[in-house]
Amino acid sequence: MGNISAPIFLQYTQNGNTSVALDYTAYLDWQVPISSYEIEYTYGADTQILVSQNTASPYTDYNFVQTGGTVKCYRITANSSDGRKTQSNIVCAGMVPIVFIPNAFTPNADGLNDIFTPSTIGVKSYEMQIYTRWGELVSKTENTGWDAGNAPQGVYKILFYGKSATGERINIIGNVLLLK
């Protein structure tokens, strides 16, 4: 006769960039009790224990966005009373990408809005192409803003091509008014 075990199975649901709800099964194999379940997260090289619980019960990480970065991975470790450990599968939640493209800027060297830059959350990289209203390419940037330099006042077409931390493509077309 052999031992039959039921490993820890971890799954998650994500509420936008607000929280990540973790749900996992209890570990069923050891003849001794589980002393704790440690819920840990990994972001880059940083691994931390979020909480230690006595029972296998759901946990919600409300600090999902506050850790910075774009992907946060979770794992559960079950600790037995005699020192044994076993771990669950790893699940990774990615930030829902958000891109805000301003509709105007004023490159007048006053230190405010001098460079046209999109604000992003959960975006790994992006490219912007800026065109005149006649379709002439004015600038092409990668992961930086547009320094309009000597460009004349007017409306410009912005093409934003981004990639989220999870590989999702983000394409946005918009207009920006350059005011001098």
Average pLDDT of the segment spanning 134-151: 93
- 43-52, 54-63, 115-124: which range is least confident on average? 43-52
| 122 vs 148, higher pLDDT | 148
Q: Taking 80 as the threshold, does the pLDDT of residue 170 lie above it? A: yes
Find the mean pLDDT for residues 6-20: 90
Indicate whether 175 pLDDT > 60: yes
Q: What is the DSSP letter of 65?
A: G
Mean pLDDT of 77-92: 91
Q: Which domains does the chain carry? A: 10-94 (2.60.40.10), 98-178 (2.60.40.1220)
Asked whether 175 and 131 are in contact (CB, 8 A), the reply is no
Count the neighbouring beta carbons within 10 Å of the beta carbon of residue 97: 21
Q: How much is the pLDDT for 2?
A: 41
Q: Which whole number is the average pLDDT over 142-153?
A: 91
Q: Is the pLDDT of residue 146 over 50?
A: yes
Q: How far apart are CA 146 and CA 107, in angstroms?
A: 10
Per-residue confidence (pLDDT) for residue 4, from 0 to 100: 52
Encoded tokens for 144 = 């930086």
- Taking residues 34-57, what's their average pLDDT? 87
Q: Are 50 and 61 in contact (CB under 8 A)?
A: yes
Q: How confident is the model at residue 1 (pLDDT cuts 50, 70, 90)?
A: very low
Mean pLDDT on 121-139: 93
